[in-house]
Structure 1
Amino acid sequence: FFFSAFHCRGIRDDIEEEDEQVSDAINVSGAAPPKLCTSFAHFGFDEQLMHQIRKSEYTQPTPIQCQGVPIALSGRDMIGIAKTGSGKTAAFIWPMLVHIMDQKELEPGEGPIAVIVCPTRELCQQIHAECKRFGKAYSLRSVAVYGGGSMWEQAKALQEGAEIVVCTPGRLIDHVKKKATSLQRVTYLVFDEADRMFDMGFEYQVRSIASHVRPDRQTLLFSATFRKKIERLARDILVDPIRVVQGDIGEANEDVTQVVEILLSGSDKWAWLTRRLVEFTSAGSVLIFVTKKANSDELAANLTQEGYSLGLLHGDMDQSERNKVISDFKKKNLPILVATDVAARGLDIPSIRTVVNYDVARDIDTHTHRIGRTGRAGEKGVAYTLLTHKDTTFAGDLVRNLEGANQAVSKELMDLAMQNPWFRKSRFKGGKGKRLNIGGGGLGYKERPGLGAESSVSYQTLFLENCIISSIFLKSERKTCMMLSHCRIVASAAVCLQPVALKVTANQPPELWGIACLH
């Protein structure tokens, strides 16, 4: 059978409209970025992996996945900047599995092929769980290595062999020093929540890990914000990266409705919380943030005396206690969780409908990550922030954060923010709107010479014959040959039927890395 020109025009228009919607949601820059894919069929994953994706109830890729997955499959280095709950974890896990399957099998005693570095134990465990879930497609092994866990058990698991290691930076370095594993086979390196790792003082460890991995690796760096330190790191460890930004850098999630309450004093917070808590718990799980451990202990004790069932999470708890609290909260055995910012990153619990910032965050980036614990994966949520009249500086940052998320700013909040001289001066200069310091300093990634101008990701409708495309990317101080084979471009969608990363081995000289012939 065949399609008439009329039917083809309708299909083409639908695909172009879908491409435009996704491309409007993301901003891509860098030299020759691959075209985005708006359907799982375009990724070219085999049935084994697609079965696991369908089991996980994915229906279509998110914007960061539409652009990030083709980039990762092509072998390019990448900077991914996306709001929390955007699906960026899957955007680096799925291509990682394809990459691993195209490498030589591990020999006994060899280290991992892929390493994912993240800041906290909780995030490490969650990424590890995702790796195991999707890794079932190919019977790949994943090991989680983090502080607070048993060194002996982790070392034993590493020595038994695993293609994937998910780790916190300090603990991985400890195991490498003790020769429990090596980084010689690593060709796929991911840094997730890089800004948080820098906030926690892990810059030296992050750079050390990058410097001890072979230079022909593929490196992906993900963050919700992009400040100057992260920009410098990207310039140092990535080679000709493609940058993908979903929304404005550092902006709040628009799926989260933010409500700001201006209270007279700190004691009024308690009265406000007890008055609203029954309403919040009836809608779903509630996450309450405080800034200090002492505050969390006090608030949890007071709520317990009022008869509320809740969990407590802070940095001084041992790992088994933390795991149990998170598990009970995730299973809805505990409707309320009181936490310090140790839980702000990576806590992925769909049942959270309300976040309460009982104490304001130490900066606007932390605030963005706090409220991102609700409204995940397209769900809606509400975040309440309690301010007093001493919070004038934070109020100014919050005004810009709300404006960046297209949310209303109350007169009370604006009046409080205007008490801060810095904010007042910036407003009189016309400093207003989405792109003005809503996510911290050092925004934006300044391209190095030769990286190409910003891409508008506009497409023409192309109907081409099947072809095999191969390309060589010459990278500064290293040569890496990467191949994306058998790509069919139909109606502006790059359909990767068989995504293949060229196998590389430690003893293979660069001059022997071949180029497939065009057909």
Structure 2
Amino acid sequence: MKKFSLKVPCFHLLLINFLDLMLNTLTFENVSCEIFAYLGSTMDGGGDGGNPGLYVIQVLFRGGGGVVSIIKYFRRLSPSHNLTLPPGPPKVTYVPEALCEKESSIFAHYESGINFDKYDDILVDVSGSNPPKAIMGFEEAALCESLNRNISKSGYKKPTPVQKHGIPIIAAGRDLMACAQTGSGKTAAFLLPILQQLMVDGVAASQFSEIQEPEVIIVAPTRELINQIYMEARKFAHGTCVRPVVVYGGISTGHTIREILKGCNVLCATPGRLMDIIGRGKIGLSKLRYLVLDEADRMLDMGFEPAMRKLVGSPGMPAKEDRQTLMFSATYPEDIQKLAADFLKKDYLFLAVGVVGGACSDVEQVVVQVTKFSKRDQLLEVLKTTGSERTMVFVETKRQADFIATFLCQEKVNTTSIHGDREQREREQALGDFRSGRCPVLVATSVAARGLDIKDVQHIVNFDLPNNIDEYVHRIGRTGRCGNTGRAVCFFDPEADGNLARSLVKVLSGAQQEVPKWLEEAAFSAHGTTGFNPGGRTFASTDSRKGGSFQRDGASHLAAALSSGADDDEWE
């Protein structure tokens, strides 16, 4: 990106840019401002009556915490500006640091929380024809010695409900649509039986082919999540001949291809980069046996559905009858279930663990009534109580993420931010600073809300509520994982968030949380709340094809079915 040495007084910047950005007034002290400009290759030069091209200003702020934040701003460039600009974005050359090969790093893991044993009492619903019997322990899964050794090194003592039911279902060769609360072990539920079958069949990575043909493709919507899945695959495959590889945007394509050509049995990928690598002829699909979609609801309703349909229709891709397709998520609205069924065999099984679409009861949820202009002060009050404990603050837009991070730095709170406009190097640095505790506060958009697993996140703050309740459930699922407890504070602006009142009350009630009286009143008075039942379940909790049979995990009899109640971000 070309740098222009333009000197703009800070007050002038505030007057012109911040008012245009519709941001609240801030007082910036000792702020260093630099302006960068970039002109896209699609610009109309504006010569003979043409339209002026767009350009982007990036304003960098160094706040009190020493953290650099970026705000991007789009404006029209007058034809009178005679600037020499590059023809397009610079080539991505970033190569991530090599991963540590020490076992202590590979097998770093969560300690189970005080509520882990409560998972045994969670209600489980399996629907579909002839589901296999659940396992009660890993020893019943008939896993090979290498996998059992890696499970032990990972600190796993006993399977979670989604693992108890998911492992035998996948091992039996059945297609699966699984729904379980965040932090419940979904990744291991599909990796363990897949790796077991690959090792039974003697699959091994080969470096002697210009076209790698993986047996497994795992797709997830964000770079952070797919990298996290890769780390789990790398851990469980440690010491075996199976080689996982991860590909995602923001890093050097050459580096990605070199990693693939070293051998690839399990390909973990984001949708865009996956289709790019297939299009380059580096990945063949004829040997594919397992297709896994993680965060499947968002994979199908956040703009990735065309890419997924293109993938399953690609040359060489086995038909759904000839492959095993697995879908995992924490929420499954009925319309998404019906859409997902297009990718699965007709006899797929539906697995629901706990209240489908429900929040984890290990997370204490607190709802605070705010106004648009009191949010920042309320945020500072909350952060005064969290100290150095890790806290994630969720906002709705990329611009707001950098704005709030800058504001907190000015208030001497070490903060960083992550969203889809930050370069991959910056995103990894932000997560690294957050994980290490250098910046105990991370301001994020939905790019970090999905499946991201960071150890010891004690607090979640929903500075801006999302547009739908499913996203709220995913956000607060960043804490309270593996039986540990957490706390989630939600800022509720009645003028902006009234449409979520009813759903929010249901989520709180379903997780046995206190519901403020003012929120119940807002829910009852909200538009379209006929038949509102605050004690009802959050979402339809059975297979959309038919009613499922609920059972307590490990019970031999069927229990009565519970009654059911009625962005602005770049994901990849």
The answer on 1:214 being equivalent to 2:357 is no
Determine the C-alpha separation between the residues in 2 that align with 1:20 and 1:409.
23
The answer on 1:366 being equivalent to 2:471 is yes
Aligned to 1:41: 139
Aligned to 1:149: 251
Residue 325 of structure 2 aligns to a residue whose secondary structure is strand
Aligned to 1:177: 279
**Where does 1:115-514 land on structure 2 (aligned, <5 Å)?**
115-212=217-314, 213-215=317-319, 216-239=322-345, 240-263=347-370, 265-282=371-388, 284-390=389-495, 391-423=497-529, 425-427=530-532, 431-435=533-537, 438-439=538-539, 444-447=542-545, 454=549, 456=551
The answer on 1:86 being equivalent to 2:184 is yes
Q: Which runs of 5+ in 1 are unaligned?
A: 1-18, 462-519
User: What is the Cα deviation at residue 173 of structure 1?
Assistant: 1.1
Contact 1:49-1:137 at 8 Å conserved across structures: no
Aligned to 1:487: none
* RCO higher in structure (CA 8 A, sep ≥6): 1
- Mark the CA change 1:241 to 1:362 in structure 2 (over 3 Å): closer, same or farther: same
Contact 1:80-1:223 at 8 Å conserved across structures: yes
- Mark the CA change 1:113 to 1:403 in structure 2 (over 3 Å): closer, same or farther: same
Contact 2:393-2:463 at 8 Å conserved across structures: yes
Contact 2:542-2:548 at 8 Å conserved across structures: no
AA partner of residue 294 (structure 2): D
CA displacement, residues 444-495 of structure 1 (integer Å, 9 cap, x when unaligned)? 42338xxx9747589899xxxxxxxxxxxxxxxxxxxxxxxxxxxxxxxxxx
- Mark the CA change 1:332 to 1:20 in structure 2 (over 3 Å): closer, same or farther: closer
Determine the C-alpha separation between the residues in 1 that align with 2:445 and 2:348.
35
- Mark the CA change 1:229 to 1:117 in structure 2 (over 3 Å): closer, same or farther: farther
AA partner of residue 387 (structure 1): F
Residue 151 of structure 2 aligns to a residue whose secondary structure is helix
- Mark the CA change 1:174 to 1:183 in structure 2 (over 3 Å): closer, same or farther: same
Residue 136 of structure 1 aligns to a residue whose secondary structure is coil
CA displacement, residues 231-278 of structure 1 (integer Å, 9 cap, x when unaligned)? 223322211111110112211111111100012x22222222212212
Q: Return structure 1 stretches of 4+ with deviation > 6 angstroms.
A: 457-461
Residue 422 of structure 1 aligns to a residue whose secondary structure is coil
CA displacement, residues 401-422 of structure 1 (integer Å, 9 cap, x when unaligned)? 1122222211021122233121
- Mark the CA change 1:418 to 1:458 in structure 2 (over 3 Å): closer, same or farther: closer
Amino-acid identity (%): 39
Contact 2:501-2:522 at 8 Å conserved across structures: yes
CA displacement, residues 309-339 of structure 1 (integer Å, 9 cap, x when unaligned)? 1111111100011011111211222111111
CA displacement, residues 286-316 of structure 1 (integer Å, 9 cap, x when unaligned)? 0001111222222111111111111111111
Aligned to 1:489: none
Aligned to 1:28: 126
Determine the C-alpha separation between the residues in 1 that align with 2:396 and 2:120.
37
AA partner of residue 412 (structure 1): W
Greater Cα offset, 97-106 or 232-241: 97-106
- CA RMSD between the two structures: 2.3
Aligned to 2:106: none
AA partner of residue 162 (structure 2): I
Determine the C-alpha separation between the residues in 2 that align with 1:89 and 1:394.
30
Q: Which runs of 5+ in 2 are unaligned?
A: 1-116, 557-572
Q: Would you tell me which structure has more helix in proportion to its own residues?
A: 1
Residue 378 of structure 1 aligns to a residue whose secondary structure is coil
